[in-house]
Amino acid sequence: MIVEGDSRALHLLRTVFGHPAFRGAQQEIVTHVAGGGDALVLMPTGGGKSLCYQLPALLRAGTALVVSPLIALMQDQVAALKQLGVRAAFLNSTLDGQAVNAVERGLRDGALDLLYVAPERLMMPRMLELLAESRIALFAIDEAHCVSQWGHDFRPEYLQLSVLHERFPDIPRIALTATADPQTRDEIITRLALDKARVFVSSFDRPNIRYTIVDKQDARAQLLRFIRDEHDGDAGIVYCLSRKKVDETAAWLATQGVRALPYHAGMDAAARTEHQARFQQDDGVVVVATIAFGMGIDKPDVRFVAHLDLPKSIEGYYQETGRAGRDGAPADAWMAYGLGDLVQQRRMIDMSEGGETFKRVLLTKLDALLGLCESAGCRRVRLLDYFGETSTPCGNCDNCLEPPQTWDATGAARKALSCIYRTGQRFGAVHLIDVLHGRATARVTQWNHDKLNVFGIGADLDEPAWRNVIRQLVALGYARPDHEAYGALQLTDASRAVLKGDVTVEMRRVMTRKGKAAKPRGRTGSGNVAQPSAGLLDKLKAWRYTQAQAQSVPAFVIFHDSTLAGIAAANPKTLDELSGISGIGAKKLERYGTAILELLHG
């Protein structure tokens, strides 16, 4: 039975946001928070987290205060809410003194439905005093995983947010994140004093994303082939670990005809702002970036996220890949992974200034990510299991579409480990493979390694195969890089059992995938919808681009691609028919309805 509050929430959902129905646990969350309850919400990117606090903000008296860590996210969300007729504003460093005073006056006078604030500003005495003088509907803490000191995106200022409960105990709080393993969830609850909050955990599955991890050979060429084969003309993000690699990769892609732009913290602020704006407002732009880019980007039509370097953890990988396909349409998460990535990440952990406990946590997280990379089973099953969720093979990842072979690599493993030992545990993979292949290079003969009994014992495997064997030995914990010796490989205690023949070593046989990836996408989030006319869709996108340019907002703030596709498929002839399309609320109907009908039938 729907109570009055639920009925009003549904009415606002339809008339303000233009959505016909709630998804998943949204209605239950909205009812709970609107009724004054605290909540912790774990929901995947694109799952509708924002509605879980935006609707209660409209249902409760006063202004909802939203804690958000990034300026870009605040600006996009406020721009989108204003399009819907919602009274929203933000307070951040982009505003001058006059604008700040106007926003603060609006908060004090009750003229705002939602106010977005960075945690640093929220903790200022002046801001806390202003809150005490204002009527606050609720506190929403977005990106709540930033409170975790063991997490991939820790923000020290988030640790202070428990003061909200201390100073305003009667105001409901909702903390939200798309990325939190069970340990991080517990940490969020403890640090934000959410002990009495209801916890809502949605599935972490993003069924529209296809996960692919390839053996790194020529990463740039592999990336270009992936973009050309699968995403020519699409918007995407390419992540690299270093600023130098970002610049070089973006420049090289541009020479190959890809509309690629760099983004990292070392760039001039004006250039970063320009590149971000072009990514958000133009179609088909690819941003090559460090992880500094993306957390605050609300762009729904990113069709792929690619990694040229290994992330630090599954949480980081999940959050970064989650920036693809927020609109529910098919998208790709593609990564090139090799031994060098593993060595680099281990080096960064060993050289970090954290204590031994901190390093152990980071190594555990890295090992979990390596398990995902080396898995011969469904990537999605492995990914969801990390977040405590049981699932079945998805049919929509590389391992499901083209199941890899496994082989008994015990003999090869013993040869490689013996070579590491006989050469004194002082050399990296390139030298070891030369010895195994029996190549009498200058360096091999300099060290008399051509005289060892392991010289030439590995001629049965080619160089790529040995690279894979050595990489998997490190990933499986039988060898480790010594960073003080420039990545020389050393044996671990676990290697003894392999050398003695007491254990069997199974490895993935890495296959080179040729040509375009299989097109069947398995499960997707888009459902069965009518196919739009390509001509109409192009006209609508051109019209939307003009509107966005005139208003200086990202195109998706006007309408999402999915809404334009719905319009093109339905080809409505009246405002009433247009109002029935998802994503068109009363304010947007009033603002754009006549122009759209004239475009379609004028």
C-alpha to C-alpha distance for 327 and 338, rounded to whole angstroms: 31
User: Which residues of the chain have a pLDDT value below 70?
Assistant: 1-6, 149-153, 292-297, 483-487, 511-533
pLDDT for the residue 511: 60
Which two structure tokens, joined as six digits, stand for 66?
């939203």
C-alpha to C-alpha distance for 224 and 236, rounded to whole angstroms: 12
Type of residue at 580: G
pLDDT for the residue 295: 52
Are 540 and 548 spatial neighbours (Cβ–Cβ below 8 Å)?
no
C-alpha to C-alpha distance for 40 and 145, rounded to whole angstroms: 11
Q: What are phi and psi of 213, to 5 degrees?
A: -125, 120
293-310 in b/e form (b: 16+ CB < 10 A) is bbbbbbbbbbbbbbbbbb
Same CATH topology for 4-201 and 209-403? yes
pLDDT for the residue 517: 46
18-33 in b/e form (b: 16+ CB < 10 A) is bbeebeebbbebbbbb
Candidates 3.40.50.11240, 1.25.40.10, 3.40.50.300, 3.40.630.10; CATH matching 4-201: 3.40.50.300
pLDDT for the residue 434: 95
- Classify the C-alpha dihedral 239-240-244-248 as positive or negative: negative
Q: Is 119 exposed, middle or buried (0-12, 13-18, 19+ CB in 10 A)?
A: buried
166-177 in b/e form (b: 16+ CB < 10 A) is eebeebbbbbbb
C-alpha to C-alpha distance for 67 and 171, rounded to whole angstroms: 14
Are 560 and 300 spatial neighbours (Cβ–Cβ below 8 Å)?
yes
pLDDT for the residue 282: 83
Fold classified for 209-403:
Rossmann fold (3.40.50)
Instruction: Find the Cα–Cα–Cα–Cα dihedral 46, 236, 71, 19, rounded to 10°.
Output: -30
Are 213 and 263 spatial neighbours (Cβ–Cβ below 8 Å)?
no
- Partners of residue 40 on adjacent β-strands: 175, 199
pLDDT for the residue 321: 93
Q: 563 Cβ partners below 8 Å, 6+ apart?
A: 18, 581, 582, 583, 584
Q: Is 438 exposed, middle or buried (0-12, 13-18, 19+ CB in 10 A)?
A: middle
DSSP code of residue 397: B
Q: Of 44, 43, 24, 70, whose CA–CA distance to 333 is shortest?
A: 44
Rounded alpha-carbon distances, angstroms, from residue 559 to 58, 84, 530, 540? 21, 11, 18, 10
pLDDT for the residue 149: 67
pLDDT for the residue 514: 47
C-alpha to C-alpha distance for 253 and 521, rounded to whole angstroms: 27
pLDDT for the residue 151: 57
Candidates 1.10.10.10, 2.60.260.20, 3.40.366.10, 3.40.190.10; CATH matching 406-509: 1.10.10.10
C-alpha to C-alpha distance for 473 and 493, rounded to whole angstroms: 13
Are 457 and 400 spatial neighbours (Cβ–Cβ below 8 Å)?
no
Superfamily of domain 534-601: HRDC domain (1.10.150.80)
Q: Of 270, 315, 268, 269, whose CA–CA distance to 291 is shortest?
A: 315
Domain segments of the chain as ranges: 4-201, 209-403, 406-509, 534-601
Give the 3-state secondary structure percentages of the chain, helix then strand then coil, rounded to 5. 50, 15, 40
C-alpha to C-alpha distance for 278 and 445, rounded to whole angstroms: 55
C-alpha to C-alpha distance for 41 and 425, rounded to whole angstroms: 49
DSSP of 28-46: HHHHHHHTT--EEEE--TT
